[in-house]
Amino acid sequence: MDNKGKAVLSYGDGKTLEMPVYGGTIGPDVIDIRALYGKTGMFTYDPGFLSTASCASKITYIDGDAGVLLYRGYPIEQLATHCDFLEVCYLLLNGELPNAEQKKSFDWTVARHTMVHEQLARLFQGFRRDSHPMAVMVGVVGALSAFYHDSLDIANPSHREISAFRLIAKLPTIVAMAYKYSIGQPFMYPKNNLDYSSNFMRMMFGVPAEEYEVNPVLVRALDRILILHADHEQNASTSTVRLAGSSGANPFACIASGIACLWGPAHGGANEAALQMLLDLQKEGGVEKVSEFVKKVKDKNSGVKLMGFGHRVYKNYDPRAKLMQETCREVLDELGLHNDPLFKLAMALEKVALEDEYFVSRKLYPNVDFYSGIVQRALGIPVSMFTCIFSLARTVGWIAQWNEMISDPEQKIGRPRQLYNGAVKRDVPPMATRG
Ligand code: CMC
C-alpha cells in the first residue's frame, strides 16, 4: 500500500483527527479509519458498504466507469479468449498463469478429485425430488466438511490447498447430481479423461445407457460462462465467505455460506429473471412490443425493471455482457438457431434501451445476465439450475478470496458495529400491565 498523506476529520468542539490515506496499484484511495472509534468514540455508518473497502486484495479489479474487469491484472476479454476455466482457476488461486507443465499438473490433480464419497451420494436421497437444487447445494456442500475432515486445519497451507482442489473438482459432480436427482435419472460418475467442462456436460446430460458425445462449441460456451463468473471482487457472496471464514470456520462451511447468499434474487438469481422477462415479452408479441415495454420500464409506477440491465459497479457496458453476447451467437449458430426469436428480441431491446435518454442518463447498460440465460437455455440447462452453475463457477473465486484472507496478517474476525436506534434501557413490566 502506498502512503498518500492524511485525511483530517473535524468533529465535536473543534477537535480534529488525522487518518492515513493509502493508495492501491489502481482504483480509489482509501482512508484508514481503524483508529476512529478508539480516538473519537464514533463509528462510521455505511449500510450496504457503499464507501467501505472491507479488505485489501490482489485478486480482482473492476473499473465500473470504464467497463473493465481484471483477474490478477489480466483483462477478462483476453482470459475468456485465450484460456480455459482451469487455467483461470490456477491464476486466481496462485496469482500467475500456469506454464504448460504447471497446467498439466493442476488439471491432473483436479481430475483426481472429481468423485465424491459414496456415502455423500446417498445424502441426496434425504431430499425431496422437487427441492430447489440450490437448497440441495447448500446442504451437500456444507456436508463436505463431515466427509473430508482430514483437511480442515485452516492454519495449514497444505490443508487449504487440498480443500481448494476438492471443492473445485467436486462442485461439478455435486451440481450434476443435484440436477439428476431432480429429474429422477441415475447419477453419472465423472470421466477423468475428459476436460473439466466436457466432464460436467456429460455428468449433466449423459445417461449410462448411451455414449455421450461432446460438442466442442457448447463445451467452450459453458467454459466461458465459468470464466466470466469466476470472481467479481467483494460482492455479497464473496463478502459472506470472507466473513464466515474470519471466525475460523472450515472452507466447506464457508463456501456453503457463499452458495446460500448467491441464491438470493438480487445476486445470483438475476439471469433467471432476465430470461423470464424475455419469455414473457415474447409471449406478448416480441420485437413489435419492445417500445411499449421500454415505456413501461421507464414508468416508475409500473414496478417493471429491465432485467439484465444496470449494475451497482458498472456504469458502462459490463465487459462480460459483450463476451456473453458473442458466445450466444456462436451457440445459436452451432445449434442452427440463428433465427432464435429470444436472441433477436434481446438484441432489439438492447438497441432501443441504449439509444434511450432514460438509460443513457442513468448509465444503464446490459450486464452479464442479459445474455447468459439465453445461452444456458440453448445448452439445455433448465432455469432452476442457473444459480447452481453460477455457484460452480464462483467457487474458485470464493476460495481464492478466503485463502487470501486467511494468509493476511491484518485479518481479524469480521465484526461490524451499528447505529443503535431501538428502545433505551427500561424495566420489564408485569404481564397484567402490558397493553
Ligand atoms: N431498469 C429500469 N431502471 C433501472 C434499472 C433497470 N434494470 N436499474 C436501475 N434503474 C434506475 C433506477 O430506478 C434509478 O432510477 P432513478 O435515479 O430515477 O431513481 C437509477 O436507474 C439508478 O438505479 P439504482 O437502483 O440506484 O442502482 P443500483 O446500483 O442500486 O442497482 C441493480 C443496481 C443491479 C440492482 C439494478 O440496476 C437492477 O435492479 N437491475 C436489474 C437486475 C439485474 O439485472 N441484476 C443483475 C446485476 S449483475 C449480477 C452480477 O454482477 O453478479
Express each pLDDT in 134-190 by its tens digit: 999 999 999 999 999 898 999 999 999 999 999 999 999 999 999 999 999 999 999
CA of 311 to the centre of ligand 1 (A): 6
pLDDT-derived band at 49 (thresholds 50, 70, 90) equals very high
CA of 307 to the centre of ligand 1 (A): 8
Q: Is 229 in the pocket of ligand 1 (CB under 6 A)?
A: no
Nearest CA to ligand 1 atom 19: 300
At residue 273, the pLDDT reads: 86
CA of 310 to the centre of ligand 1 (A): 4
At residue 387, the pLDDT reads: 94
Q: Is 297 in the pocket of ligand 1 (CB under 6 A)?
A: yes
Set of cell numbers at residue 311: 449494475
CA of 72 to the centre of ligand 1 (A): 27
Query: Rounded to whole angstroms, how far apart are CA atoms 172 and 431?
Result: 56
Residues 63-86: pLDDT tens digits?
999 999 999 999 999 999 999 999
At residue 88, the pLDDT reads: 98
pLDDT-derived band at 115 (thresholds 50, 70, 90) equals very high
CA of 194 to the centre of ligand 1 (A): 40
User: What atom of ligand 1 comes closest to residue 310's alpha carbon?
Assistant: 37
CA of 153 to the centre of ligand 1 (A): 41
pLDDT-derived band at 312 (thresholds 50, 70, 90) equals confident
Mean pLDDT of the chain: 95
Nearest CA to ligand 1 atom 49: 267
Whether 102 and 87 have beta carbons less than 8 Å apart is answered as no
Percent of the chain whose pLDDT exceeds 90: 89
Query: Rounded to whole angstroms, how far apart are CA atoms 202 and 180?
Result: 11
Q: Is 178 in the pocket of ligand 1 (CB under 6 A)?
A: no
Q: Give Cβ neighbours of residue 65 (< 8 Å, ≥ 6 apart).
A: 315, 316
Query: Rounded to whole angstroms, how far apart are CA atoms 176 and 189?
Result: 10
Three-class secondary structure of residue 306 per DSSP: coil
Residue closest to 189 by CA, chosen among 161, 212, 222 = 212
Dihedral (C-alpha) 5, 11, 16, 21: value to the nearest 10 degrees? -10
Whether 203 and 172 have beta carbons less than 8 Å apart is answered as yes
At residue 355, the pLDDT reads: 93
Q: Is 367 in the pocket of ligand 1 (CB under 6 A)?
A: yes
Q: Is 295 in the pocket of ligand 1 (CB under 6 A)?
A: no
At residue 421, the pLDDT reads: 97
The residues annotated with a catalytic role in the active site are 311, 369
Strand partners, 63: 68
Q: Is 362 in the pocket of ligand 1 (CB under 6 A)?
A: yes
At residue 272, the pLDDT reads: 85
Nearest CA to ligand 1 atom 43: 308
400 pLDDT exceeds 90? yes
At residue 338, the pLDDT reads: 82
Q: Report which DSSP code applies to 43.
A: -
pTM above 0.75, yes or no: yes
Percent of the chain whose pLDDT exceeds 70: 100
Residue of 51, 309, 317 best suited for mutating to test ligand 1, as the one with most atoms within 8 Å of CB: 309
Q: Is 59 in the pocket of ligand 1 (CB under 6 A)?
A: no
